[in-house]
Amino acid sequence: MLVPTKKQLPYPCNQKPFHGFGLGLRPEYYHAILDQEPNIDWLEIISENYLVEGGKPLYFLDLFKERYPIAMHGVSMNIASTDPLNMDYLNELKQLIEHVQPIWVSDHCCWTGVNSHNTHDLLPLPFHEESIQHISSRIRQIQDHLERPILIENLSSYLSFKDSKMTEWEFLTSVCEEADCYLLLDINNIYVNARNHNFDPLDYIKGVPQERVVQHHLAGHSDHGDYIIDTHDASIAAPVLQLYKQAVEHFGPVSVMIERDDNFPPLEELLTELDEVRSIFNVAQDERKL
Amino acid sequence: MTLKQLQSDFIACIYAEQTDKNKENNFKHLLCEEGKITPEQRISIYQNAYRARLYGVIDSDFPCLGKLIGDDLYHPLCSAYINAYPSHQPSINNFCAHLPEFIRYFDSLKNHTIAIELCDFEWQLRTTFNAKNCKALAVDYLQNIPGEKWPTLTFELSHGFALKYFSMNTVEVWLALKDDTTPEIKKLKQAQTWMIWRQELVTQYRSVEVDEACLLQAIADGHNFQYLCEALLEWWPEEQVPERAFQLLQHWLNLGFLT
């Protein structure tokens, strides 16, 4: 039985590492990135894609980790599930962490399955005290097992629960503080949820603890008018880029990357998008200094 | 309501076909009414995403199966498989592991031999692709073995190596479908053995002669070199057995699957 303990944050306030502008590493871009050595500061992998015994994924991972700082981002930690933690998964993840030596490890503030079933989807839960205690206790156990702090990401959601007693950002803040973990703040997900649940996305940005935000995600979505689906299959929408600018003005330098998981364009197109993110960042930083 | 009960109801609702309104009703009363989208529509986003994701995994692991059997057979197969084998693993990588067996008993495909064999072949390619790395024996390995050790010598096959027995021209059909051309499907006069392995990072497949298949199976079963030579007597005169045995060993070393 793991005994949850509280740990000191390894990054004191205002000394969070800033790794710049990254991309999600996907097999579709392996060769283009290796051949072109483009202007990318760091890469984020989907951890589960490399929890395999051998073959191409691990071969390419070794090539990339020699060339770029790597962040590990998972989708299967099932943090908020009421099932016991899957220690086999966490052991495999720990082995991969030892191999990759990532700049950090993240997963989502959600659950993916229960009663030993896995939907492979990121599922929401009610924002109340029972959820906070449940999740934060599990994050502490995970951090103890992995022997490092983790980042948890806000997810996109399409429903909310009558049982909720607080806003999503109040909930995330409480979880992070109870668990002593960091935040991977997905700007697109904030925008998606703001539209799907009718709140002001700036309230969200101003409502989470600045000192715990270590990374941003940016991605495209699919706008259906009355609701938005977080699809990662298109370029970043203009309102999300605008919200990102406001996030930079509020949080200052935070490592940021673009996730693209479907409808893959040529690498050049993603690099142009990353340049646009850089420009927005620089403008926001300049305005912040004024 | 406890978090555990809420999660159990949510997942039952996601797994349910959208026509199963009972499971949906157990869950939708927990949801807020928001905007123009009803709780039922919000639930259906998760139901659709769940099925779309798993359909996507099957499509990715079996890129030619759907092309072979067409949507009218492929979609019911996928849907029935998703219902019969919900995922229990954190990784989605092995979600389709039971499909080659499932298709053998699926009513509308259980007599569709080419579909069954092609499904088996595609899953083996997938399994071999992700198999554990191992160090292949060097090509000059045989030269350094003292003569007296040969009879008891055993070999191991690399992880992901497999032999498949096809009664149809399955690999030919798969190649045609991969190229988006119409395959000519034929039953073979005699079943053909194929070996699938990974050479360094590249998945390979090749048909093998009957004596070669027999020896590879014997190696997989742990038999020694003396046994392999005795087995060759079924096809070769005694004086040609050593030559054939060394020819095959040399060939396999070149292909990189002996470890």
Average pLDDT over residues A101-111: 97
| Residue B142: per-residue pLDDT | 80
Domain span at residue B100? 62-255
Mean pLDDT along residues A186-196: 98
Residue A75 domain flag: yes
Closest-approach residue (CA) in chain A for B43: A159
Q: Is residue A63 part of a domain?
A: yes
For all residues of chain B together, what is the average pLDDT? 94
Is residue A15 situated within a structural domain? Answer: no
Residue B212 CA: distances (Å) to CA of A183, B193, B205, B209, B248: 58, 9, 14, 5, 7
In a domain, A196, yes or no: yes
Q: B36: which chain A residues are within 8 Å (Cβ-Cβ)?
A: 226
Q: Does B48 touch chain A (CB under 8 A)?
A: no
**Model pLDDT, residue A15:** 64
pLDDT tens by residue, A212-249: 999 999 999 999 999 999 999 999 999 999 999 999 99
CB A178 within 8 A of CB A136: yes
Is A89 within a domain?
yes
Mean pLDDT for the stretch of residues A245-257:
97
Instruction: Please determine, for residue B181, whether its predicted confidence score (pLDDT) is greater than 60.
Output: yes
Place of tokens 């973990």: A181
More confident residue, A140 or A6: A140
Instruction: Examine the pLDDT at B21 and tell me if it is beyond 80.
Output: no
Give how many domains chain B has, as a whole number.
1
A12 within some domain: no
For testing contact with chain B, the best of A77, A85, A111, A119 (most B CBs within 10 A): A119
| Distance of residue A161 Cα from the nearest chain B Cα, in angstroms | 5
B167 vs B164: CA distance, rounded Å: 10
pLDDT of residue A12: 53
- Distance (Å, rounded) from C-alpha B221 to C-alpha B191? 21
What average pLDDT does chain A have? 94
3-state secondary structure chain B: CCHHHHHHHHHHHHHCCCCCHHHHHHHHCCECCECCECHHHHHHHHHHHHHHHHHHHHHHHCCCHHHHHCHHHHHHHHHHHHHHCCCCCCCCCCHHHHHHHHHHHCCCCCCCHHHHHHHHHHHHHHHHHCCCCCCCCCHHHHHHCCHHHCCCCCCCECCCCEEEEEEECHHHHHHHHHCCCCCCCCEEEEEEEEEEEEECCEEEEEEECHHHHHHHHHHHCCCCHHHHHHHHCCCCCHHHHHHHHHHHHHHHHHHCCEC
- Check residue B137 and report its DSSP letter: P
Interface test with B, best of A50, A63, A120 (most B CBs within 10 A): A120
Question: What domain range is A278 assigned to?
Answer: 21-289
Q: CB distance B3–A126 less than 8 Å?
A: yes
CB contacts, 8 Å: A197 with chain B: 34
Q: What is the pLDDT of residue B144?
A: 85
CB A14 within 8 A of CB A35: no
A3 lies in some domain: no
Q: How far is A207 from chain B (nearest CA, A)?
A: 22
The total number of structural domains in chain A stands at: 1
Q: Is residue A5 part of a domain?
A: no
Q: Which chain B residues touch A198 with a CB distance below 8 Å?
A: 34-35
Determine the Cα–Cα distance for residues A239 and B172; give it in Å rounded to an integer. Answer: 51
Q: What is the pLDDT of residue A6?
A: 45
Average pLDDT over residues B112-139: 94
Q: Kindly determine whether residue A51 and residue B93, on different chains, have CB atoms separated by under 8 Å.
A: yes
Model confidence pLDDT, tens digit, residues B51-95: 999 999 999 999 999 999 999 999 999 999 999 999 999 989 999
Q: Does the pLDDT of residue A11 top 80, yes or no? A: no
Q: Quick check: A56 and B129 CB within 8 A?
A: yes
For residue range A145-175, what is the model confidence (pLDDT) as tens digits?
A: 999 999 999 999 999 999 999 999 999 999 9
Residue B95 lies in a domain: yes
Confidence of residue B140 (pLDDT cuts 50, 70, 90): confident
Domain membership flag for residue B52:
no
pLDDT, one tens digit per residue, over B149-170 is 999 999 999 999 999 999 999 9
Confidence class of residue B123 from pLDDT cuts 50, 70 and 90?
Answer: very high
- In chain B, % of residues over pLDDT 70: 98
A196 with B15: Cβ contact below 8 A: no
Q: How many CB pairs under 8 A join A and B?
A: 131
The answer to whether residue B20 sits within a structural domain is no
Cβ–Cβ below 8 Å for B201 and A116: no
Whether residue B242 lies within 8 A of chain A, CB to CB, comes out as no
Tell me the residues of chain B between 135 and 194 that have a Cβ less than 8 Å away from chain A. Answer: 159-160
The domain that holds A140 is classified in CATH as 3.20.20.150
Within-domain flag for B57: no
Give percent of chain A with pLDDT exceeding 70: 95
Q: Which of B46, B50, B133 sits opposite A158 (nearest CB)?
A: B46
Mean pLDDT of B108-131: 96
Q: Give residue A283's pLDDT.
A: 97
Confidence of residue A10 (pLDDT cuts 50, 70, 90): low
Q: What average pLDDT score do residues B241-247 get?
A: 94
Say yes or no: B55 contacts chain A, CB-CB below 8 A. no
Whether the CB of B4 is below 8 Å from some CB of chain A: the reply is: yes
Q: Tell me whether residue B36 is in a domain.
A: no
Structure letter (DSSP) for residue A111: B
- Judged by a CB distance cut-off of 8 A, whether residue B198 touches chain A is yes
Q: Do A111 and B7 touch (CB under 8 A)?
A: yes
Say what the pLDDT of residue B25 is: 78
* Contact with chain A for residue B35, Cβ under 8 A: yes
CB B228 within 8 A of CB B215: yes
